[in-house]
Structure 1
Amino acid sequence: MQGFSREPGTHGPVDQVPPEGLRKIYRWAALIAVGGFLFGYDTGVVSGALLFITRDFRLSAAEQGTIVSVLLVGAMVGALLAGRLADAIGRRKAVALEGAVFIVGTAIAATAPTYWQLLAGRVLLGLAVGAASATVPVYLSEISPTAIRGRVLSANQLMITVGILVSYLIDLAFSGSGDWRLMFALGAVPASVLTLCALLVLPESLPWLVRKGRWTQAHEVLALVLPKDEAERVATGLRHRDGGHAPRPGWRTLLGPKVRPALIVGVTMAVIQQFGGINTIIYYAPTIIEKTGLSASNSIFYSVFIGVINLVMTIVATRLIDRAGRRTLLLVSLAGMAVLVGLLGLSFIAGWNSELSLLCMILYIAAYAGGLGPIFWVLVGEVFPPSVRALGSSTATTTNWICNFAVSQAFLPLAAAIGQGETFLVFAAICLCGLLFVARFVPETKDRSFEEVDAALQARFGRSGPAGDDTGRRARDRSRI
């Protein structure tokens, strides 16, 4: 928890959490990251199910597209509402409610007798996906000691990739029977696990309890991971520092000069993650595979292959993120993505060997999964002040979903207008712009408290940290490295 990391002004900050406490934090992270699994599962399962839904409901091309895209629309709304919800009722109850919406949406989709009821189920699933994608990184950030925060926050993206891979495997397993209802229905299992764990197992976020002035509960949460005397000391220090009930922040707070650098970083990284072309590369993967003449031309089977690459490289990123740092992985990832998607575009334009196109595509996916993919979600949980973390995460996540929808709708018309290869060159240019943005404006957040991250952010945006704050000056010096 942020209360477990070094925070200026805390009376006797906790430098280390005992091993038993760390094990509990890892267990909580694994349970809450089931929300990430559902994000991946419900966005991925439709790719195989749609083949059989189209047959049963005799869908037109437009109706097929709506079944897929309506989840993105729901996710935009869910992400937008999630910040206010998590601030109002707490992170734990918000996640439990999101799990319940997953269950209801799954039930409606799996039993839908008509196209319109299936659409309603997909809208509810979208609301839950969007809300969970905004809430889970906030909770993970707020239960994480500084030294392991990167690994804990990476659990979200790791479980997203696991969810996608499992959805592809489920699609493959039921492709023979064509039972798309069961493909959807199995999502109720992790949704039930998430809801029950949020209600019965997970503690509330310590920073949220502190801001609400719930000191008895805050002490109980500290006692779960710290020895009794240490928990009492930290709880007393937090109470002396933070005093009473904090007012609920509004949207205007995000635009204030103090928070604006974090907002710019969160929103810009959301845009770069989507407009870098990852979803459209995956969309074109079966076409590229088909040109190579490989036997893996079946789209569902090939999706499994893509899912494995995505998962393996996300695991690599999770192992490296608290060692190499966020900034280093981002720079390497964006540089690799720019080069590889540029080469992919040239291969289409020049008609190069199709095996080279396939190699570029696979390496591009690996570069994305090893850096930009997971680190966006890590930064969302790290750069915003604790008082507006849920609201900031909600804003950045909503931007991510809006861009996801925009890219999915614009790609085919753009490719038809200027050519497939030229469109990939546009993605390369966006990745290059992202590389320059990270180099100039995104500080390293590894092993830093929020105060240090904030001071580094302010320095990169040409602003001074708090007057007389030696920690801020040290962070600004380090941010220039």
Structure 2
Amino acid sequence: MSEPLNTRPAAESHLVDLTPQGLRRVRAWGVSIALGSFLFGFDTGIISGALLFIREDFDLTSFQQGSVVSILLLGAVIGALTCGNIADRYGRKPVLAALGVVFFLGIGAAAFAPGYWTVLLGRVVMGLAVGGVSATVPTYLGEMAPAQVRGRMLSLNQLFITFGLLTSYLVNWALSGAEAWRAMFGVGLVPALLLFLAALWLPESPAWLVRKGRMEQARKVVDRVAEPGDADRFVDRVHDAQREEDRSGSSGGVGDLFRGTALAALLVACVLAALQQFAGINTILYYAPTIISQAGLSASNAIFYSIFIGTVNVAVTFVSLALIDRVGRRPLLLGSLAGMTVSIALLGLAFAAGMSPLAMLVFMMLFIVAFGVGMGPVFWVLLGEVFPSAQRAEGASAGATVNWLSNFLMSLAFLPLVNAVGQAATFWGFAVLCLLGFAFVAKWVPETRERNADEVGADLRRRWRISEG
């Protein structure tokens, strides 16, 4: 029995019947575009090993080392902020192809850099592409995914991020003996080229095509995966929804994000984006060797710790992938935040009570498991589902921008905060934020599983008491 394709979980959504071949094709499209998410993870993780040798070759100061790491985050902010508008204007497909080129140029600049400034330039360019895919991939997956597997398709974003991180750790480990930092970067040239080629093969979003008046092209895309006759019904439904939006005064621009249902969706996206970072996950991932060292264990084999943590992160993301379309988004988020609250509070207690390093490591891993099952992937899923159709790309861009800004601020603030108040108080602070996040999700975040935008919008308006107009 074929599964229905919900090419856009939004006001213009219309369920059409996928052929068995069409379902396989849609899944292949999802996996192909998630190459951008793989590069997201790879480029953020590869610097952890490469920097050990770059600093020796170029005699970098502490400030220069920090700038090589953090400049990618600032580039990602710019990329996330600008890509939504560009994707709305020119389409998802050309933007994704362009991001493959940007990745290739940034990685190439870093790999062949003659000195510090070229490495820094390469990292900025990589950051632009990382931010761009963080906004564009959820938008594209949300528009192309079948309703029954939409959560799993959107979760591919997080799965490939974690897989990219793990790959970067393995590459660092394999090449660290030869101190081949240029080759560490250079490995990323292959998936960058594959992303560009995949974007040439992928179809444009049919909903975007209809909104641009390219009806025949939209029909051809839907015809590739759906039963005969469904393409006409899909196009008519999207076109009717667009006319309704035009009558309501919606322009599809940035200004529309700040009213009605879109405003409620924006608040949900931005709060979850900030919470994902301020809950403490990247302090665990980035500073695990430091935490372990302070706990009394040797940090000399930091790459080994990174591989272990990366493997756990990938494994629990597979668990989320299996659950998200069965149990829904809200239960996973609530369970995740509850587990994160308890585990990181226990980590703080372990530091305060002077527990064994093994106990600290167990609490760290429990926190990563809790995050990976819910808060990690579900944020990216909601980013592709919660916004009205006309504001999806701009909304995803705004959410991704807040996520990267929060990431940057946390990377700067964590170690000074630990030095000021101690490890125990710092982790207890994260526990309080996780608890507040649990309350926020319980009251304000809608369920989007197998819902169209009318249903999601009605739930948002009820929860936030915001009316349209």
- With the shorter chain as reference, the TM-score category is over 0.9
AA aligned opposite 2:212: K
Query: How far 1:236 sits from its partner (Å)?
Result: 4.2
**One of 349, 366, 370 as aligned partner of 2:369:** 366
Q: Contact 1:213–1:244 at 8 Å: present in 2 too? A: no
Structure 2: unaligned runs, 5 residues or longer = none
- Equivalent-residue separation in structure 1 for 2:11 and 2:60 (angstroms): 59
Partner of 1:272: 275
Query: How far 1:293 sits from its partner (Å)?
Result: 6.8
Q: Contact 1:336–1:364 at 8 Å: present in 2 too? A: yes
- Equivalent-residue separation in structure 1 for 2:12 and 2:180 (angstroms): 58
Aligned residues: 463
- Over the residues paired in the alignment, what is the CA RMSD in angstroms? 2.1
AA aligned opposite 2:158: Q
Q: TM-score, normalised by structure 1?
A: 0.92
Partner of 2:321: 318
Matching of residue 179 in structure 1 with residue 180 in structure 2: yes
Partner of 1:475: none
Matching of residue 234 in structure 1 with residue 244 in structure 2: no
Aligned residue runs from structure 1 range 13-92, under 5 A: 13-92=14-93
Q: Contact 1:109–1:119 at 8 Å: present in 2 too? A: yes
Aligned residue runs from structure 1 range 198-209, under 5 A: 198-199=199-200, 201-209=201-209
Question: Does the C-alpha gap of structure 1 residues 32 and 5 become closer, same or farther in structure 2, counting only changes over 3 Å?
Answer: closer
Greater RCO (Cα-Cα under 8 Å, separation 6 or more): 2
Question: Does the C-alpha gap of structure 1 residues 463 and 217 become closer, same or farther in structure 2, counting only changes over 3 Å?
Answer: same
What percentage of aligned pairs have identical amino acids? 50
Matching of residue 389 in structure 1 with residue 392 in structure 2: yes
- Equivalent-residue separation in structure 1 for 2:70 and 2:114 (angstroms): 20
AA aligned opposite 1:409: L
- Equivalent-residue separation in structure 2 for 1:136 and 1:7 (angstroms): 17
Which of structure 1's runs of 4+ aligned residues deviate more than 6 A?
Answer: 5-10, 244-247, 291-296
Partner of 1:474: none
- Equivalent-residue separation in structure 1 for 2:382 and 2:350 (angstroms): 34
Partner of 2:150: 149
Q: Contact 1:158–1:311 at 8 Å: present in 2 too? A: yes
Partner of 1:130: 131
Partner of 1:470: none
Question: Does the C-alpha gap of structure 1 residues 156 and 261 become closer, same or farther in structure 2, counting only changes over 3 Å?
Answer: same
How big is each residue's C-alpha offset from its partner over 1:150-170, in whole Å with a ceiling of 9 and x where there is no partner? 000000000000000000000
Query: How far 1:292 sits from its partner (Å)?
Result: 6.9
Query: How far 1:231 sits from its partner (Å)?
Result: 2.2
Query: How far 1:145 sits from its partner (Å)?
Result: 1.9
Question: Does the C-alpha gap of structure 1 residues 375 and 215 become closer, same or farther in structure 2, counting only changes over 3 Å?
Answer: same
Q: Contact 2:45–2:168 at 8 Å: present in 1 too? A: yes
Q: Contact 2:46–2:168 at 8 Å: present in 1 too? A: yes
AA aligned opposite 1:145: P
Query: How far 1:45 sits from its partner (Å)?
Result: 0.4
- Equivalent-residue separation in structure 1 for 2:89 and 2:415 (angstroms): 41
Aligned residue runs from structure 1 range 203-222, under 5 A: 203-222=203-222
Question: Does the C-alpha gap of structure 1 residues 292 and 410 become closer, same or farther in structure 2, counting only changes over 3 Å?
Answer: closer
Structure 1: unaligned runs, 5 residues or longer = 467-481
Query: How far 1:414 sits from its partner (Å)?
Result: 1.1
- Equivalent-residue separation in structure 2 for 1:15 and 1:226 (angstroms): 6
AA aligned opposite 2:207: P
More moved, 119-128 vs 277-286:
277-286
Query: How far 1:7 sits from its partner (Å)?
Result: 6.8
Question: Does the C-alpha gap of structure 1 residues 382 and 6 become closer, same or farther in structure 2, counting only changes over 3 Å?
Answer: closer
